[in-house]
Chains A and B, each alone.
Chain A
């Protein structure tokens, strides 16, 4: 009898994704090793700091589920941030600057989609190309210098509160809810695993698969544009190299969250856990006064450990 109970609890345990164990372990480690980790302000800080990453990781989940990849998302975020800052200075209007940032993000996303869907260039290569273009444009537009002197109102986006909740969290929560709705309750979302799992079937079902694919990359660019509001607000400036390598964290968060790189298997909640896990890891290492280079190494190790745990779980199934 007790054996069966044990077996049952083991199988329940087996259904919990590897990322949850990793997250619990990290929280335990940092809580015991640092004094400031478990304080309310720090935990809130972790979530706020994770919000930008979440905005990138959500569409990245969609993209990876289509068996694609978006390497340009960090560079597009940087470019959107630069455009936001320059437009704000040129026009003095934050609204126009926000729209410009979002528009440039969306444009790059759709450009990715067009190159991948209609020119049939593999996503890795296509987005590597647009990464270069976006990165280069950022440097050209800024002359390699930081853009400073933002209007005062910009501060609110990252540091403000709405009903007592940090504003970045509100944006992140809304983004998560919308993306969840899209993935699980709309036609577009239904076609995401189909693009990765059996594109032929989608075509046979009379769906314009190219258009769907382009729209998904478009969403990625759009979210990068929105993330640019948070990023620029956080720094009250735009740096032409601000979000270099963000795509690494975004892809890592998706992978840690259990989304597979083939056959269209994916899980949006896993990505949320993945983002928080990376946030916890970076925050904890900050408290331990580790340099950011060490943090990158640790994120790399995290990806491998989480995927290994997932692999073990699958074998047991």
Chain B
């Protein structure tokens, strides 16, 4: 009892619900005779410096078994570095770590696993041509009866058991390359569970999940929490932070800014602490929309990628949303308009001219696609920021077809200044920038190419709050200057706040159009849900 009291005193975050869970765990821990006065994991004064950047600066915080500890901060605030220190990919320059009160050192992935730390990165660590089961037990294959031969049956049955635990019935023999992002996420979580993780670190796990999958994940997290697992959860979604978090720790510029209780703070306060200055998460756009000429008109579009009878219009000066569940065909519509996928029938009119052909022609017609997968499709990651910016405008900048480095640099610098891209030089490789700045580079690429119809596919995925606001401000700038924007987003609050009207897709078709006065999250969901 004394120990319990000590713990209660130690962590004054006693929300009723949390305490119930924590107490039951505590009782089990006492029975098991384990040390419970110490946090499962505690960081003290962790620092990590890279040439020119202090990624982590004296970061200290404890994580208790049975809590969900939210970690918030802008991109570049040090969350990824912290995760890498936890999983053993980086070794901290200074500071100490304690596991159940004992000082530990994590120098490798194996060390981290030994202490029950499992990290689920946003970029999945799955092998495409291995099965789900093989991926879950990669590096930990069960030995079989014969020396050197692995027990494939046991790998499959154990993998199935852990998937069932999180309510998934994915076939364990499916090769991972056949799975969608959401299912890959589930495999990652099953993998972490199978490692008997006592400390689970998750980096924006819901960014690729549908609502029902998210619900499932949250349910699973609550069960893990009740079993005494400590969860460190990185998220940019306010709703999740307040729904799930027992405590919230905020990082900014590599420093720990604050640890707060959710009921003693507010989203505004949180955002302010994250960015260090007062901003609104998303400015709602004023109602003074001046819609101009028709920039895009799609009529009766059908495509083998699974979209049928698509009709939509976007005018200059408008931001039009395209929403629906993940997999409802939003990205496919965008790709068809950009000429990246084949179409079987239907008309696409761009600025009044019938459009046929591929992305090269689309680019020349003034269409820009800012794709969902920034790293794979939006940027040439290893090339410099400057190279990326001029990439789509080579014909325009160099009509003589001879590349002139001086002119390219000049164009790039103009764009870097205009969009306030945080890079020390246009020669810096695009891959070292933060997500928000990478997105600006993609936008800058299309601005340089004089695009007038912008298709944004999940423009804020993996981007922090401060940068989100900047991206939207850029979008408003675009339309005020006569461009047209079609925006795909899974974040309904973004659609509602940013768009002038929206189309909702369901199962490859347009389920309906919502004008601005009817554009609410409820209406979007109503239209987008499956009704059978």
Contact = CB atoms under 8 A, between A and B. Distances in A.
Interface of A: 181, 185-187, 190, 193-194, 196-198, 200-207, 263-266
A205 B109 contact: yes
Given A194-B127, A197-B129, A198-B126, A205 B139 contact: yes
A190 B134 contact: yes
A190 B149 contact: no
Contact of B152 (A185, A197, A266): A185
A190 B87 contact: no
B107 to A, nearest CB: 12
A202 B149 contact: no
Interface of A is mostly: helix
B128 A264 contact: yes
B141 interface: yes
A183 B424 CA distance: 47
Contacts of A197: 127-130
B516 interface: no
A193 B129 contact: yes
Contacts of A206: 108-110, 113, 139
Nearest to A194: B127
**Which 4 residue pairs are nearest across A and B when measured between Cβ atoms?**
A205-B139, A201-B125, A197-B127, A193-B129
A263 B127 CA distance: 8
18 contacts: A181-B149, A186-B150, A187-B148, A193-B128, A194-B130, A197-B130, A198-B126, A198-B127, A198-B128, A201-B124, A201-B126, A203-B109, A204-B109, A205-B138, A205-B139, A206-B110, A207-B138, A264-B128
Contacts of A204: 87, 89, 109, 125
B125 A263 contact: no
Contact of A187 (B87, B126, B141, B177): B141
A201 B138 contact: yes
Contacts of A201: 124-127, 135, 138
B459 to A, nearest CB: 27
A205 B141 contact: no
B234 to A, nearest CB: 17
Nearest to B135: A201
The size bracket of the interface on B is 20 to 34
Nearest to A185: B149
B140 interface: yes
Interface in B81-95: 87, 89
Given A198-B128, A206-B108, A263-B128, 17 more contacts: A181-B149, A185-B144, A187-B148, A190-B138, A190-B141, A193-B129, A196-B129, A201-B124, A201-B126, A201-B135, A202-B127, A202-B138, A204-B87, A206-B109, A206-B139, A207-B139, A265-B129
Contacts of A190: 130, 134, 138, 141, 150
A264 B109 CA distance: 23
B109 A265 contact: no
Contacts of B108: 206
A186 B129 CA distance: 16
Chain A CB within 10 Å — which of B108, B109, B138, B144 has the most? B138
Chain B CB within 10 Å — which of A185, A202, A205 has the most? A205
A181 to B, nearest CB: 7
Contacts of A266: 129
Nearest to A265: B129
A69 B89 CA distance: 29
B424 to A, nearest CB: 27
Contacts of B125: 198, 200-201, 204-205
B105 to A, nearest CB: 16
Interface string B424-456: 000000000000000000000000000000000
B25 to A, nearest CB: 28
Contacts of A263: 128-129, 177
Nearest to B108: A206
Interface string B135-178: 10011110010001110100000000000000000000000010
A193 B127 CA distance: 7
Contacts of A194: 127, 130, 138
A287 B126 CA distance: 49
A223 to B, nearest CB: 18
